[in-house]
Amino acid sequence: MPVLKPSQPPSSAHRRFNRIWLIGLAAAGIALGAWQAKECAAIRFGYVAGYAYAAAVFYGILLCIIGLLLLIYWRTRGIGAGLVAAGFLSCVTFYGGMAGLLRLDRVAWRHEPPPVAIGPDQKATVVVYFRRGTTDRQIEEFASSLVNDTTEHSLLREYLRLTPSQANGHEAVAVTLSEDASPEQITQYIERIENDSRVEKTYRDVAPTAIQPEANRTPAHR
């Protein structure tokens, strides 16, 4: 069976078959590149977008390699040429689309929010000291009630579990609320925390490490 060349000239049906595959796969490559650009532009974080760029190149190269292998056999040469065209055009369309979207400022990760520092030395909306003997399970249930609250969960921006060494020997957490929260919402949120039976004391608008030991500090909020 001939591999590189047919034993006789290809039929008109076979030539038409090759043209259809070439045009169809080339169009699919353009569509793939456009879709990849659309998805990449919607990514919110720049480091994730880097993976999208790498994936676009990977799929383009993969299509070209498969296409080159199919070019060897004369019967699949039209499909092979179509796959090579699809791989090339998908990359061209992706990079061209991203260039256009960047120029139009339609790329989400160009407006990535600045990183927010977190840790026990960062100011929190409220630092919560739990009563002695509060178990890890009870603290996890407390955290779950804050995160899963259907009326107020959107106010929660950061939740940080503190070690006793960061909280003067107490089991504690630091809670930071959204900057968009109104004073009334913040007050109601903190009051709900303070009314929890597991909570011993709360400290507002302070970094956990700035809270002085019991013997040296002024009376706490509660």
Residue 54: which residues within 8 A CB-CB, separation 6 or more?
A: none
Tell me the chain's radius of gyration from C-alpha atoms. Answer: 30
Q: Find the domain containing 160 and state its range.
A: 124-216
208 and 148 inside one domain: yes
With respect to residue 119, please indicate whether it lies within any of the assigned structural domains. no
pLDDT, residue 214, reads: 67
Last residue of a domain, one of 87, 111, 135: 111
Q: Is the pLDDT reported for residue 5 higher than 80? A: no
pLDDT at 13: 82
Whether residues 137 and 207 share a domain: the answer is yes
Higher pLDDT, 4 or 138: 138
Confidence of residue 113 (pLDDT cuts 50, 70, 90): low
Is residue 63 domain-shared with residue 149, that is, in the same domain?
no
Query: With a threshold of 0.75, does the pTM exceed it?
Result: no
Last residue of a domain, one of 85, 111, 137: 111
pLDDT tens-digit readout, 17-27? 888 999 999 99
**For residue range 119-177, what is the model confidence (pLDDT) as tens digits?**
788 899 999 999 999 999 999 888 888 766 645 446 778 888 999 999 999 999 999 88
Distance set, CA 141 to CA 46, 149, 173 (Å): 34, 12, 13
* Residue 179 sits in the same domain as residue 201: yes
Whether residues 75 and 166 share a domain: the answer is no
Residue 3 maps to a domain: no
Is there a domain that residue 4 lies in?
no
The answer to the question of residue 36 being in a domain is yes
Residue type, 109: W
User: At 206, which CATH number?
Assistant: 3.30.70
pLDDT at residue 48 in the model: 82
- Per the structure, the count of domains in the chain is 2
142 and 107 in one domain?
A: no
**Statement to judge: residues 24 and 76 lie in one domain:** yes
Q: Does residue 91 or residue 108 have the better pLDDT?
A: 91
67-90 pLDDT, tens digit per residue, is 999 988 878 888 999 999 999 999
Q: What is the pLDDT of residue 66?
A: 95
pLDDT at residue 150 in the model: 47
Residue type, 201: K
* 109 exposure class (CB count in 10 Å sphere: 0-12, 13-18, 19+): middle
The pLDDT score that the predictor gives to residue 154 is 62
Q: Given this model, what pLDDT does residue 217 score?
A: 47
